[in-house]
Amino acid sequence: MNGFPIISLLTFTPLIGAVLLLLKGNKKPGSNPNQFGLGVCGIALLLGVYIAFSFDPAASALQATERFEWIPTLNLSYSVGIDGLSLLMVLLTTLLTPVSLIAAPAKLPRKHHYVALVLLLETGLIGTFTATNFFLWFLYWEICLIPAFFLIRLWGGPNRSDAAVQFFIYTFVGSAGLLLSFLALFAATGTFDFAVLAEQARSGVLTANIANNLGWADIPIKGISLILFCLAFLGVAVKVPLYPFHTWLPSTYAEAPTSITILLTGLMSKMGVYALLRLIVPIFGAQMQILATPLLALAVVTIVFSAFAAYRQEDLKRIFAYSSINHLGYCFLGVFAITSGTGLTESWQNDAGAAFNGVILQMFNHGIIAGLIFFLIARLELRSEGQRGITDFGGLRSVMPLYSTALGVALFASLGLPGLSAFIGEFLIFKGAFGLVKWAPIVSTIGLLLTAIFVLGVIQRLLTGPLNSRWKNLKDLSSEETWVVIPSLLIILIAGVAPQTLIHFINATSLQFINLAAGTP
205-248 pLDDT, tens digit each = 988 888 888 877 577 888 888 999 999 999 999 988 998 888 89
Instruction: Note whether 64 and 86 are within 8 A (CB).
Output: no
Cα-based angle 357, 363, 368 (whole degrees, multiple of 5): 125
270-300 pLDDT, tens per residue? 999 999 999 999 999 889 989 999 999 999 9
Q: Give the pLDDT of residue 214.
A: 81
Question: How many whole angstroms separate alpha carbon 253 and alpha carbon 367?
Answer: 15
Q: Is residue 354 part of a domain?
A: yes
Instruction: Note whether 125 and 100 are within 8 A (CB).
Output: no
How many residues comprise the chain?
A: 521
Q: Is the peptide bond before 147 cis (omega within 30 degrees of 0)?
A: no
End-to-end CA distance of the chain: 26
DSSP output for 10-52? HHHHHHHHHHHHHHHTT-STT--HHHHHHHHHHHHHHHHHHHH
Instruction: Note whether 439 and 429 are within 8 A (CB).
Output: no
Q: Is residue 489 part of a domain?
A: yes
Question: How many whole angstroms separate alpha carbon 262 and alpha carbon 152?
Answer: 12
Q: Give the pLDDT of residue 75.
A: 79
Residue 244: other Cβ atoms inside 10 A: 11
Task: Please classify residue 508 by burial: count the beta carbons closer than 10 Å to its beta carbon, then call 0-12 exposed, 13-18 middle and 19+ buried.
Answer: middle
pLDDT above 50 for 17: yes
pLDDT above 80 for 504: yes
Q: Is 498 helix (H, G, I), strand (E, B) or coil?
A: coil
In eight-state DSSP terms, residue 107 is S
Instruction: Note whether 117 and 147 are within 8 A (CB).
Output: yes
Percent residues over pLDDT 70 in the chain: 96
Q: How many CA within 13 A on the CB side of residue 302? A: 30
Instruction: Note whether 254 and 317 are within 8 A (CB).
Output: yes
89-105 pLDDT, tens per residue? 999 999 999 999 999 98
* Among candidate residues 365, 390, 488, 491, the one with its CA nearest the CA of residue 103: 488
Q: Is residue 295 part of a domain?
A: yes
Q: Is residue 153 part of a domain?
A: no
On average, the pLDDT of the chain sits at 90
| Integer Rg of the chain from CA | 22
pLDDT above 70 for 519: no
Return the axis-axis angle of helices 205-213 and 221-239, rounded to nearest 10°.
110
Q: Is 67 helix (H, G, I), strand (E, B) or coil?
A: strand
Question: How many whole angstroms separate alpha carbon 229 and alpha carbon 389?
Answer: 41
Percent residues over pLDDT 90 in the chain: 68
Q: What is the 3 state secondary structure string of 115-139?
A: HHHHHHHHHHHHHHHHECEHHHHHH
254-264 pLDDT, tens per residue? 899 999 999 99
Question: What are the b/e assignments for 22-35, b being 16+ CB within 10 Å?
Answer: beeeeeeeeeebbe
Q: What's the distance, CA 258 to chain centroid? A: 17
Instruction: Note whether 88 and 360 are within 8 A (CB).
Output: yes
Kind plus residue range of the DSSP H or E element containing 65: strand 63-71
Q: What band does 4 get if pLDDT is binned at 50, 70 and 90?
A: confident
pLDDT above 70 for 85: yes
Q: Is the peptide bond before 220 cis (omega within 30 degrees of 0)?
A: no
DSSP output for 426-495? HHHHHHHHHHH-SHHHHHHHHHHHHHHHHHHHHIIIIISSSPPGGGTT-----HHHHHHHHHHHHHHHHH
The amino acid sitting at 69 is E
Q: Give the pLDDT of residue 2.
A: 59
**CA-to-CA separations, 365 to 190, 304, 318, 349, 503, in angstroms, rounded:** 38, 20, 20, 24, 12
Q: What band does 443 get if pLDDT is binned at 50, 70 and 90?
A: very high
Kindly report the backbone phi and psi dihedral angles of residue 59, in degrees, each rounded to the nearest multiple of 5, phi listed first.
Answer: -90, 135
48-80 pLDDT, tens per residue? 999 999 999 988 889 999 998 888 877 788 999
Question: How many whole angstroms separate alpha carbon 407 and alpha carbon 99?
Answer: 15
Q: Give the pLDDT of residue 518.
A: 64
In eight-state DSSP terms, residue 78 is E
Average pLDDT over residues 417-445: 93
- The number of folded domains in the chain is 1
Question: How many whole angstroms separate alpha carbon 136 and alpha carbon 121?
Answer: 16
The parent domain of residue 308 ranges over: 291-521
pLDDT above 70 for 26: no
Q: Is residue 460 part of a domain?
A: yes
Q: Is residue 209 part of a domain?
A: no
Q: Is residue 111 part of a domain?
A: no
138-188 pLDDT, tens per residue? 999 999 999 999 999 999 889 999 999 999 999 999 999 999 999 999 999
Q: What band does 521 get if pLDDT is binned at 50, 70 and 90?
A: very low
Q: Is residue 257 part of a domain?
A: no
Question: How many whole angstroms separate alpha carbon 362 and alpha carbon 208?
Answer: 36
Average pLDDT over residues 7-12: 96
pTM assigned to the model? 0.94
